[in-house]
């Protein structure tokens, strides 16, 4: 497609207008109907950040089906599980991803799943270091653009709207599909206003998506921005300097980011940062993982009071939000309840805990349509108390109703009978110069039951890497002594997903595999 002055979506050298996107989406909707996709069924997307992701997502919604993005970093067995669990009728995937996992193609075809190949675009090939051979569409396969040419745009939309069906990350077991009840178009329009407020989206916004669209928040941000913004830039993968260059070039106003992106941007040399004009930024939204107060403060000092944070979950929706001013006044808060949200901190008996005391967070957003876990109604029922939903997060409220997150319930370490929340330690440690990433876990301890271990990924420059005594001193200056890890290990990389969540289960397993009790 040629570059046009009225383009809405940009990716590399390619652009597409909103009218072209609409027409291609409606054409894809006709095609999905023609091959037998019914309302309520799943259309699986194994796609990198590309125009086809939007076309297929809107096509599924147009016929009352569920768009089902799949994390393409998953192993073949994990992808097969999601396809089988969702009973997807169609798999739309980039050619390089399918070529790399032929077992998926064979198993999908055995299950009667129609496979549509999307030719991997040049910018995705470059970002992933792929050659054209690895991205070739197999002879005889159905290629997305050719397939679209066989249909006319859909004329009548389905009467109700479906939300994207996101499968949870599965950090403690098999992932679960969050399947929301279809909503009327009037109800969806009202909910969209809340989404606009959270992400600061308005008519004429200029947005960028630096994270993968298969994750919940980038997905909701990107799909909504494509409907309202005058410009939406898709990044094939996150690169710190490329991100700054794109913000400056396209005069970006809105972006959703995860804290790890901010950490890596702040590690750039000052001279690199100063090369790019980021004064166009108006609303930077962060969520998905805890953001250290020092990191947020440093970003605000760089970009101005444009940083907003929210707390929520795929299951719960948006719960709380805060502005830059609130973040600076109350370091560590994720804000107060948004309009229409109910959120409480409860003890094990289901009673609200006093102000300042940590409890498991339960909440619900009134306009967010209800959901079930696909094929797992019993597990859905298990996370509800009195109409409120929990995802296992632990936090407390101050006297003014501002929420502070401690950690996830399953991440809490109990050492010598004392509850310790690793997220608090990590937020301090990652702010230390020379540390790129870190994770704190509990490991077996004969005396205390568990003790703390810090796994640290240092920066590449060996001269800037702090020693273990220096890290211990840094922590002792900022935390109580019982929160300072007894052990520190260096790692070349930590298993963190693109939404910023770290796979702690994988980190803990080697330490607990010979123990009777495992975390």
- The SS3 of residue 310 is strand
Contact (Cβ atoms closer than 8 angstroms) between residue 180 and residue 224? no
- Crossing angle for the helix pair 102-110 and 76-86, to the nearest 10 degrees: 20
Q: What is the mean pLDDT of the chain?
A: 90
Pairing assessment for the beta strands 166-167 and 359-365 based on DSSP bridges: unpaired
- The SS3 of residue 515 is coil
Which helix (H) or strand (E) covers residue 26, if one does? helix 18-34
User: Is 13 in the same domain as 115?
Assistant: yes
- Boundary of a domain, candidates 94, 129, 158: 158
User: Averaged over 430-456, what is the pLDDT?
Assistant: 87
pLDDT score at 201: 96
User: Is 396 in the same domain as 424?
Assistant: no
Task: Identify the residue whose tokens are 């609303």.
Answer: 283
Residue 42 lies in a domain: yes
Into how many domains does the chain fold? 3
Residue 519 lies in a domain: no
Query: What is the tens place of the pLDDT at every residue in 123-143?
Result: 999 999 999 999 999 999 999
Q: Which residues contact 219 (CB under 8 A, 6 or more apart)?
A: 69, 164, 166, 213
Show the DSSP H helices in 449-501 as ranges. Answer: 468-478
Residue 449 binned pLDDT confidence (cut-offs 50, 70, 90): confident
User: Averaged over 225-251, what is the pLDDT?
Assistant: 96
- Boundary of a domain, candidates 158, 181, 212: 158
The boundaries of the domain holding residue 269 are: 197-409
Query: What is the tens place of the pLDDT at every residue in 356-379?
Result: 998 999 999 988 889 999 999 998
User: Is 332 in the same domain as 455?
Assistant: no
Which helix (H) or strand (E) covers residue 422, if one does? helix 422-429
pTM of the predicted protein model: 0.83
pLDDT score at 518: 41
Least confident span in 83-97, 341-355, 383-397, 438-452: 438-452
User: Is 446 in the same domain as 361?
Assistant: no
Distances (CA, A) of 460 to 48, 436, 474, 493: 28, 9, 20, 11
Pairing assessment for the beta strands 371-373 and 177-180 based on DSSP bridges: antiparallel
Distances (CA, A) of 90 to 47, 113, 285: 13, 5, 33
CATH code at position 473 = 3.30.300.30
Residue 164 lies in a domain: no
Q: How far apart are CA 54 and CA 45, in angstroms?
A: 10
Q: Tell me the torsion sign for CA atoms 87, 89, 92, 97.
A: positive
pLDDT score at 6: 59
User: Is 319 in the same domain as 459?
Assistant: no
User: Is 203 in the same domain as 238?
Assistant: yes
pLDDT surpasses 80 at 417: no
pLDDT score at 290: 73
- Boundary of a domain, candidates 353, 377, 409: 409
Q: Provide, rounded to the nearest whole percent, the portion of the chain with pLDDT above 90.
A: 67
CATH code at position 65 = 3.40.50.980
Q: Provide, rounded to the nearest whole percent, the portion of the chain with pLDDT above 70.
A: 95
Residue 303 lies in a domain: yes
Residue 177 lies in a domain: no
Residue 362 lies in a domain: yes
User: Averaged over 279-289, what is the pLDDT?
Assistant: 93
CATH code at position 245 = 3.40.50.12780
Q: How far apart are CA 77 and CA 104, in angstroms?
A: 8
pLDDT score at 517: 44
């Amino acid at each position: 497609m040629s570059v046009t002055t009225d383009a809405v979506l940009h990716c590399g050298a390619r652009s597409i207008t909103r009218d072209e996107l609409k027409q291609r989406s409606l054409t894809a909707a006709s095609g999905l109907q023609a091959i037998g996709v019914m309302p309520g069924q799943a259309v699986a997307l194994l796609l990198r950040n590309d125009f086809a992701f939007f076309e297929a997502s809107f096509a599924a919604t147009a016929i009352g089906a569920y768009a089902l993005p799949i994390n393409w970093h998953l192993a073949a067995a994990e992808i097969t599980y999601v396809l089988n669990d969702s009973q997807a009728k169609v798999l739309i995937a980039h050619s390089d991803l399918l070529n790399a996992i032929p077992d998926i193609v064979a198993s999908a075809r055995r299950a009667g799943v129609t496979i549509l190949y999307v030719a991997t675009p040049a910018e995705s090939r470059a970002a992933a270091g792929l050659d054209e051979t690895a991205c070739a569409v197999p002879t005889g396969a159905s290629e997305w653009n050719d397939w679209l040419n066989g249909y006319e745009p859909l004329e009548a939309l389905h009467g109700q709207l479906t939300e994207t069906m996101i499968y949870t990350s599965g950090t403690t077991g098999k992932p679960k599909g969050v399947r929301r009840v279809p909503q009327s178009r009037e109800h969806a329009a009202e909910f969209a206003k809340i989404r606009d407020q959270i992400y600061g989206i308005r008519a004429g916004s200029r947005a960028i998506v630096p994270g993968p669209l298969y994750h919940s928040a980038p997905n909701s941000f990107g799909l909504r921005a494509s409907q309202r913004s005058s410009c939406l830039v898709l990044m094939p993968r996150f690169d710190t300097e490329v991100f700054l260059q794109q913000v400056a070039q396209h005069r970006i106003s809105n972006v959703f980011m995860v804290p790890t992106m901010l950490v890596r941007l702040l590690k750039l040399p000052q001279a690199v940062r100063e090369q790019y004009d980021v004064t166009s930024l108006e609303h930077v939204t962060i969520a998905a993982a805890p953001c250290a107060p020092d990191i947020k403060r440093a970003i605000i000092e760089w970009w101005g009071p444009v940083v907003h944070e929210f707390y929520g979950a795929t299951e719960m929706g948006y719960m709380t939000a805060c502005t830059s001013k609130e973040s600076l006044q109350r370091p560590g808060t994720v804000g107060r309840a948004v309009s229409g949200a109910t959120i409480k901190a409860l003890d094990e008996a289901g009673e609200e805990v006093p102000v300042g005391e940590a409890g498991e967070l339960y909440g619900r957003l009134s306009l967010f349509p209800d959901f079930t876990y696909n094929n797992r109604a019993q597990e859905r029922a298990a996370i509800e108390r009195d109409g409120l939903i929990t995802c296992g997060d632990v936090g407390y409220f101050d006297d003014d109703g501002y929420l502070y997150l401690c950690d996830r319930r399953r991440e809490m370490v109990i050492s010598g009978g004392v509850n310790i929340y690793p997220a608090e330690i990590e937020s301090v440690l990652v702010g230390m110069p020379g540390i790129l990433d870190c994770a704190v876990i509990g490991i077996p301890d004969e005396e205390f039951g568990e003790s703390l271990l810090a796994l640290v990924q240092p920066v590449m420059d060996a001269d800037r890497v702090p020693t273990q005594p220096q890290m211990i001193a840094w922590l002792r200056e900022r935390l109580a002594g019982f929160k300072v890890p007894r052990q520190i290990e260096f790692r070349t990389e930590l298993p963190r997903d693109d939404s910023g969540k770290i796979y702690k289960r994988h980190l803990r397993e080697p330490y607990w595999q010979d123990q009777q009790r495992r975390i």
